[in-house]
Amino acid sequence: MQARRRIAAVALAIGLTAATHPGVAASLGGLTPRKLGADNAVVSACDSDGFSVSYTNSGGNITSVDVSGIADPGCEGGQLSVVLANASGTSIGAAGPTTVPTDAGTVDNTMTLALSPTPAASAVAAVHVAVTGP
């Protein structure tokens, strides 16, 4: 249970960091079709309290990830992605993007995403969860 809380705290910290830092590239005054450069924009979070993550194991490999606590309706229509990384930060399994379904309720959503490839559970050091949009 503590691992889920830590993962939720990390996801929340990542979401809050993205929400409070408007960009990392210096602004070059906007982009047009004839300009090449960088610009910045505020990135807002669709979920203010983070997500909980659990795994499904088969033969010592993680085959899918359950992401719960997805804000309803805040994240509905967004694209959910999950990346599992090893201790050096290299991706060893990923899922998504998958659309967060829209429903009439207001209870937080839970989604199960199948991983490809299916990494050894012992190799997973971090999980990164992101919702792009809506």
Quick: pLDDT tens for 69-111: 999 999 999 999 999 999 999 999 999 999 999 988 888 999 9
Residue 134 has pLDDT above 50, yes or no: yes
Contact 80, 96 (CB under 8 A): yes
Question: Which residue is associated with the tokens 């190799």?
Answer: 123
Quick: pLDDT tens for 12-47: 434 433 443 444 444 445 545 565 566 666 666 888
Quick: pLDDT tens for 41-67: 666 688 888 889 999 999 999 999 999
User: So what's the pLDDT on residue 33?
Assistant: 57
User: So what's the pLDDT on residue 2?
Assistant: 44
User: So what's the pLDDT on residue 49?
Assistant: 87
- Higher pLDDT: 4 or 115? It is 115
Q: What is the rounded distance in angstroms from the CA atom of residue 25 to the CA atom of residue 40?
A: 6
